[in-house]
Amino acid sequence: MARIVMKFGGTSVADVEKIKNVARRVKSEVDAGNQVAVVVSAMSGKTNELVGWADEISPMYDAREYDVIVSSGEQVTVGLIAMALQSMDVPARSWLGWQIPIKTDGAHAKARIKEIDTTELDKRMNSGEVVCVAGFQGIAPDNRITTLGRGGSDTSAVALAAALKADRCDIYTDVDGVYTTDPRIVPKARKIEKITYEEMLELASLGAKVLQTRSVEMAMNHRVRVQVRSSFSDAEGTLVVDEDEIVEQEVVSGIAYSRDEAKITLVKVADKPGIAASIFGPLAEANINVDMIVQNVSEDGKSTDMTFTVPRGEFKRALSVIEGNSAKIGYKELLSTSDVTKVSIIGVGMRSHVGVARKMFETLAEKGINIQVISTSEIKVSVLIAEEYTELAVRALHTAYGLDAE
Amino acid sequence: MARIVMKFGGTSVADVEKIKNVARRVKSEVDAGNQVAVVVSAMSGKTNELVGWADEISPMYDAREYDVIVSSGEQVTVGLIAMALQSMDVPARSWLGWQIPIKTDGAHAKARIKEIDTTELDKRMNSGEVVCVAGFQGIAPDNRITTLGRGGSDTSAVALAAALKADRCDIYTDVDGVYTTDPRIVPKARKIEKITYEEMLELASLGAKVLQTRSVEMAMNHRVRVQVRSSFSDAEGTLVVDEDEIVEQEVVSGIAYSRDEAKITLVKVADKPGIAASIFGPLAEANINVDMIVQNVSEDGKSTDMTFTVPRGEFKRALSVIEGNSAKIGYKELLSTSDVTKVSIIGVGMRSHVGVARKMFETLAEKGINIQVISTSEIKVSVLIAEEYTELAVRALHTAYGLDAE
């Protein structure tokens, strides 16, 4: 007997038939003798519809009211899934964030879970009842509903698995696992059987949309065994686990890419202490997320070029912040483009292998792809390239690192 | 300065534009110096959609889960209306049933309000904030969401008005008031300026769908001044008030009709003590609502005919209950039809006028309409007639009692 958390995303609960299908999957785990907590998202499209209404009312809406509105989507599905289970003679009831409670901080629309009281859930699960939990939502100290940000149901599920000391947290979605890269670009992409938390974290934050980044962080911190798998097939999914559980580790596990990039270059800024602060201070104050940063080697010892990237959605705002501070920063020219893609190779094997980055640079050079910016961490190398080369680069790297399926 | 509760039905909040329109109406009351509590229904069609999903999952659904699902509709609109008010610089926030709390009993899907804690709402209203309350919902002793039955937002509004000691409870809907009869049948129907609680109660329970019956009962018990008016015009609505506030009382205030009737006759049952109990006992146990009952005068002193009506939705079930108990009851024949309509005249003036019922019978006789069953109360007379005569009967009575508009 195991205790498991099963999380179903929006496409898995998109209509009544799919919800019944989810109930059948849950029932089969119950019939196998497992204790089950189910976490559900809103029906696919529902959250977008609700957010759309809020935007229509006022683009500058109150995040507390936003949370009241958008949390209703999960409320509907959690009731329906409990009903569906009951109709199959599986004891079940729904739980909303405030009923458990799932306590969060007061950062509405992007709240963080502080504590989950599992007293009642524990009791119910021990007695054989399936606890159906509305994902994405919690309750703030002021007794108002909070939501955890888009994709937040993944985080709900992992947090619940940690709090319930579950043996496993299964994330059911519309793909059957995590792939070595996007199969829409590389038909030879392979499903990864096991991946480390660290790699999954990089993949998630580098653009692979299969898990919310925060949920992976949380899984890593609490050592929750996460499995990503399909609601629509019985195929084994991808297991996200500790490094020591993976016997034969690839050097590079996956290739990620993100088109959500824009590049800004400040030409000939003074090469002196404090110059970086004068540029990135105002951007941070404006809540703009700067990603890659590269400062050219100064040729004359007096001036240098500073290049950095920001998400495309914050591109225009970033430019106007820089222009508004142009006198204080002092630059000769401001260059910018959004025709760029960030391509990354990820793998914990990099730590113990040399020449991994070099192979990346050589592979791209062979294809005539110019690298504009490079950034690295312990387990990933990211390069910024012209957007038009995206597919070419990803395919070439996928082959170069031996990831192609036979 | 007055303290008012403004309730908006589903058609009044059907989309974002209409919600903004509602916010403008609320703002004009605030600008006039009034303290305002707003109660909203779900967007029109939304509750039906949610109920439909529940029915699809399982016709025998758990009412507690039903409440979780259907209460989400009001949650959406209450957040949107609070946002819309804020965007017009009116301080406002949303309140869900469990946040106030609006405490109900545990009868899920048809709960009754026990107590509304107004401490916080009072404080907010005194400080000039508009409190936006989700209609139709409350919280049960077991900390689960309850709903008040279809049309329950009217009851929420009246209960809130009573608890807040509001000067007025305005029910905004898609008609501009209560009419002497259904204007779709009688073009000469007139809007009633003032109507007594008692008459409104009869009208509501006899088929006029403008207010939920329970909300009128509650208004009567707590002497809440209710006004029914249109969201889409500035015309004065209908005031529901105490009898002594109405100077010139019509003898008959309105004509109601209901096609939701079915008639059952048991031919030649024994005319002996206990026979009624043997028929209506099993029906009551099956939760079937018997309305009109008539027992013929016994001709031979031994047997009689028993006729009664039930709602059409319970017709088949009622027949099978009777048939299942046929041996115990003992009857010669079972006659039944659903081709019947109940037509009623309502007016507190009946108490002090004679001949009111006689005029009804004469008017119908003149038109050649046969009366099948009669039932009366202090302020109404109802007759059951063949359904095909419905329009003819209502029009003739409307004219006979001087209700036609000039």
A54/chain B closest Cα distance in angstroms: 7
Q: How distant is the Cα of B20 from the closest Cα of chain A, in angstroms? A: 7
Beta-bridge partners for B399: none
**Which of B77, B80, B86, B90 is the best mutation test for A, with the most CBs of A within 10 A?**
B80
- Is A75 close to B56, i.e. CB distance below 8 A? no
CA count, 13 A, side-chain hemisphere, B144: 20
Q: Which of A38, A68, A78 to mutate to test the interface with B (most CBs of B within 10 A)?
A: A68
Q: A69–B79: do the CB atoms touch at under 8 Å?
A: yes
Which CATH number is A255-400's, of 1.10.150.120, 3.40.50.2000, 3.30.1490.20, 3.30.2130.10? 3.30.2130.10
CB within 8 Å: A79 and B54: yes
Q: According to the model, what pLDDT value does residue B276 have?
A: 87
Is 80 exceeded by the pLDDT of residue B209? no
If DSSP codes are grouped into helix, strand and coil, which group holds residue B152? helix
Q: What phi and psi, each to the nearest 5 degrees, are found at residue A260?
A: -80, 55
Q: Pick the residue with more confidence: A405 or B297?
A: A405
**Distance between CA atoms of residues B386 and B292, nearest Å:** 15
User: Which chain A residue has the Cα nearest residue B59?
Assistant: A87
Q: Looking at residues B372-388, what average pLDDT do you find? A: 92
Strands (DSSP E) contained in A271-369 are 293-295, 303-310, 333-346
- Domain borders along chain B are 3-174, 255-400
The residues with which A258 forms a beta bridge, in sequence order, are: A342
A54 touches chain B (CB under 8 A): yes
Instruction: State the smallest CA–CA distance between residue A138 and chain B in angstroms.
Output: 14
For residue B316, give the DSSP letter.
H
Task: State the Cα–Cα distance between residues A186 and B354, nearest whole angstrom.
Answer: 90
Q: How many CB atoms are closer than 10 A to CB B196?
A: 23
pLDDT in tens, B130-176: 999 999 999 999 999 999 988 899 999 999 999 999 999 999 998 88
| DSSP, res A179 | B
* For residue B300, pLDDT beyond 80: no
pLDDT, residue B273, reads: 82
Burial of A105 (0-12, 13-18, 19+ CB in 10 A): middle
Q: Are strands A194-196 and A238-241 parallel, antiparallel or unpaired?
A: parallel
**Average pLDDT for residues B301-312, to the nearest whole number?**
90
- Give the Å distances, CA to CA, from A78 to A89, A120, A264, A363, B177: 17, 17, 45, 49, 39
Structure tokens at A86: 């009951």
Report CB contact under 8 Å: A94, B16: no
Question: What ipTM goes with this model?
Answer: 0.84
Dump pLDDT digits (tens) for B314-328.
999 999 999 999 999
Whether B76 sits inside 8 A of A69 (CB atoms) is yes
Domains A3-174 and A255-400 share a fold: no
Name the region of B220 (left: φ>0; alpha: ψ -120 to 50; beta: rest): alpha
- The structure tokens 């899934």 sit at A81
Q: How far is CA A169 from CA A79, A198, A225, B359, in A?
A: 21, 17, 6, 75
Comparing CA positions, the residue from B403, B387, B385 lying closest to residue B186 is B403
pLDDT at position A280 is: 93
User: Beta strands A35-40 and B113-116: pairing type?
Assistant: unpaired
**Scanning the structure block, which residue is given the tokens 């925060």?**
A214
Helix axes A72-87, B46-57, angle to 10 degrees: 30
In CATH, what number does A3-174 get?
Answer: 3.40.1160.10
Q: Is residue B239 classed as helix, strand or coil in its secondary structure?
A: strand
How far apart CA B324 and CA B327 sit, in angstroms, is: 8
What is the per-residue pLDDT for B1? 86
Torsion (CA) B111, B113, B115, B117 in degrees, nearest 10: 90
A 224-283 residues with CB < 8 A to B? none
* Chain B residues near residue A66 by CB distance under 8 angstroms: 79, 83
pTM over 0.90: no
Residues of chain A with pLDDT under 50: none
Chain A residue at shortest CA distance from B50:
A76
Tell me, what's the pLDDT at B207? Answer: 66
For B126, the token pair is: 């005194």
Model confidence over A319-378: pLDDT tens digits? 999 999 999 999 999 999 999 999 999 999 888 888 899 999 999 999 999 999 998 888
Mean pLDDT of chain B: 93
Chain A residues with beta carbon closer than 8 angstroms to that of B79: 54, 65-69
CA distances from A310 to A261, A398, B168 (A): 6, 26, 55
Q: Identify the pLDDT of residue A123.
A: 97
Nearest residue, CB atoms, A76 vs list B69, B96, B144: B69
DSSP B28-90: HHHHTT-EEEEEE-PPTTHHHHHHHHHHHH-TT--HHHHHHHHTHHHHHHHHHHHHHHHHTT-
Omega prior to A282 cis, within 30 of 0: no
C-alpha neighbours within 13 Å on the C-beta side of residue B232: 12
B65 in Cβ contact with A82 (< 8 Å): yes
What is the structure's pLDDT at A207?
A: 66
Note which residues in 59-118 of chain A have CB less than 8 A from chain B: 60-62, 64-69, 71-73, 75-76, 78-80, 82-84, 86-87, 93-94, 96, 98-99
